[in-house]
């Protein structure tokens, strides 16, 4: 399976997927750390995280897949949402909470 197929599978099998540097418990960059904090602030406790530092193919593949040059990248229900700055803007306006509303604990 090539990187594009692997990414397509990852984003369709889980409602929330975050491509990041490191893991939620040990982010390897400030932007990835912020993205995790924003998800948690929206009530999302469980999500799939993909550490792009473990696979050069996925690291480049996700950039090609989304046509977005930076990491982290958030996908919700198979759709690309954006990176850290987009997530911050959406959180500030309430859009991120609305988008993720049904995906946190009930």
As a whole number, mean pLDDT of residues 50-60 equals 96
Sign of torsion over alpha carbons 20, 35, 12, 81? negative
Global pTM reads 0.94
pLDDT higher than 50, residue 11: yes
- Contacts of residues 77-80 at CB distance under 8 Å and 24 or more positions apart, as own/partner, are 77/15, 78/11, 78/12
Nearest residue to 31 via CA among 48, 43, 18, 17:
18
pLDDT tier for residue 106 given thresholds of 50, 70 and 90? very low
CATH number at residue 26: 3.40.30.10
Mean pLDDT of 20-29: 97
Tally of domains in the chain? 1
List the domain range (segments joined by +) for residue 15.
Answer: 3-103
In this prediction, residues 56-67 reach a mean pLDDT of 96
Confidence bin at 45 (pLDDT 50/70/90)? confident
Whether residue 41 contacts residue 71, with contact meaning beta carbons closer than 8 Å, is answered with no
């Amino acid at each position: 399976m090539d990187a594009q197929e692997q990414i397509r599978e990852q984003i369709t099998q889980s409602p929330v997927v975050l491509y990041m540097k490191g893991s939620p418990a040990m982010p390897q960059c400030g932007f990835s750390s912020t993205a995790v904090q924003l998800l948690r602030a929206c009530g999302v406790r469980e999500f799939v995280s993909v550490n792009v530092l473990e696979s050069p193919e996925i690291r480049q593949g996700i950039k090609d897949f989304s046509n977005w040059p930076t990491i982290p990248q958030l996908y919700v229900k198979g759709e690309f949402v954006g990176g850290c700055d987009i997530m911050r803007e959406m959180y500030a306006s309430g859009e991120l909470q609305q988008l993720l509303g049904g995906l946190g604990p009930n």
